[in-house]
Structure 1
């Protein structure tokens, strides 16, 4: 129950719910509140043993608020970078990471790769900026992702790269534990590192089971349809993996036009000129160029669904959840955020 004093910025008084209604207690003395509740309850019933249980439970709930998990009804967050009379402090990356419900987003195929990429970027440079609750949420989401991949047997290489990069970052941070760069007990981080190694071992030794589905498979399709499917792949390593399935797919995976389009999709002509590579026939070797430029330049990233930022309201949200926008034409104020832009939004 809120209480507003003469000064509207004051936190107000403390109120306790009893059998006869709400009673006003001390301002910030938890023990007085508990004692007041205990006496009130004893007057109504007389079972001292039950009161002790209630008092201990209430003391634990009030003093260990850091262990309580809060669930937000609104799936959007106001991004403010300064203090005002209405809002104090500023919004952090950890708060946004908790509020936007990335735990449910991993079950959406359009958002899965986005969440994984965001976890990679956080592991590289932003892990120490997260609060203890956000770090706990980070590893909970990571565990759900690993369990999902083990069950669906999809995106195995993507998650293995995430775990490998995270383990490398944690090894570097643990060495600097004397500088207090990690939140929590160091033994907890050692346990998390052991979990990461265990997950990586499970993904490395996963056994892909064949699905007994009736109908055509990739091998049964005509060559032109197989080539059209290969052109939809955005990663050259996936093309090479498909080429190992059969002899015909191996020949299609070596198609020069296929690799040329892949290079043109990810890189610019100016980058081509700096990394030209010719084969024995004097022609451009697009396949070798792709893997060489991949090591020198970042690849193009596209996602099925991304978080939106409203420039009018300064609110971060998923597009399907929306937010109470006050603009006349809200769609014009929405900006899709890439994973790196998401992190840059909280750099002050």
Structure 2
């Protein structure tokens, strides 16, 4: 069970004892686990023990296979693999200068596996579902607009806007991108990076992606891990 675990000493120990293999099967926790693996890839990879590293790549393999099977959020895992491959390239080139737990040949094999995963995801073809019932295009404009306003990621809006001309028109709405900017960023941050359009209005879409380069965006997860200081327990909530 992944409900509670306690008695951790290191990141690697916590990673080994938490059952992330089950967590990735839960849609509420999948994105959070991928993000955690991405953070480890960026800055904590060398702090993992040999056993934790093996567990890390086993979980990563299961995530890739899950994405290949059900095509859920491939962009997220692509970002993770890109960060991981960049980190490994730097560590392998700097072997002797940095601490790499394990044989260098094992790390080279892992890098080759990552490159293979990246190629598989690049070749991933999204299945076209045949449905004679109601489709997205059949929904009235106000409902389609409501769907777009539910997104908190600009790339999701752009992707949905590529489905039909109507969705593209709705996805280019200035108010939609303004709301997205206001959700993720503070007003004082806007003032530092104002981007006017040719008509003199603020280009909120460009603003969103410009601000994203300088400031972190808010991240939403169904479930996240919490730590109770009183009883030293990690738990999902």
TM-score with structure 1 setting the length? 0.66
Measure how far apart 1:280 and its partner are: 1.9
Cα shift at 1:180: 5.8
1:113 aligns with 2:31: yes
1:255 aligns with 2:173: yes
Q: Secondary structure at the match of 1:178?
A: coil
Which 5+ residue runs of structure 1 have no aligned equivalent?
Answer: 1-71, 80-90, 320-348
RMSD: 1.6
Structure (1 or 2) with the larger CA radius of gyration:
1
- Please tell me whether the aligned partners of residues 29 and 222 of structure 2 are also in contact (alpha carbons under 8 angstroms): yes
Q: Which has the higher contact order (CA 8 A, sep 6+)?
A: 2
Give the alignment partner of residue 130 of structure 1, picking from 45, 48, 57.
Answer: 48
Change (3 A) 1:92 1:255: same
Q: Which has the higher helix share?
A: 2
Partner of 1:170: 88
Matched, 1:227 2:145: yes
Give the corresponding residue for 1:203: 121
Distance 2:140 2:77 in 1: 32
Cα deviations by residue, 1:224-257 (Å, 9 ceiling, x for unpaired): 1111101111111111111111111111001111
Q: What runs of 5+ residues in structure 2 fail to find an aligned partner?
A: none
Matches within 5 A, 1:308-319: 308-319=226-237
CA shift in 2, pair 1:192/1:250, >3 Å? same
| Inter-partner Cα distance in structure 2 for 1:107 and 1:73 | 12
Divergent runs of 4+, >6 A? none
Matching residue within 7, 12, 19 for 1:78: 7
1:157 aligns with 2:75: yes
TM-score (norm 2): 0.95
Residue pair 2:2, 2:235 contacting (<8 A) in 1 also: no
- Paired with 1:224 and 1:313, the residues of 2 have a C-alpha distance of 49
Count residues in correspondence: 237
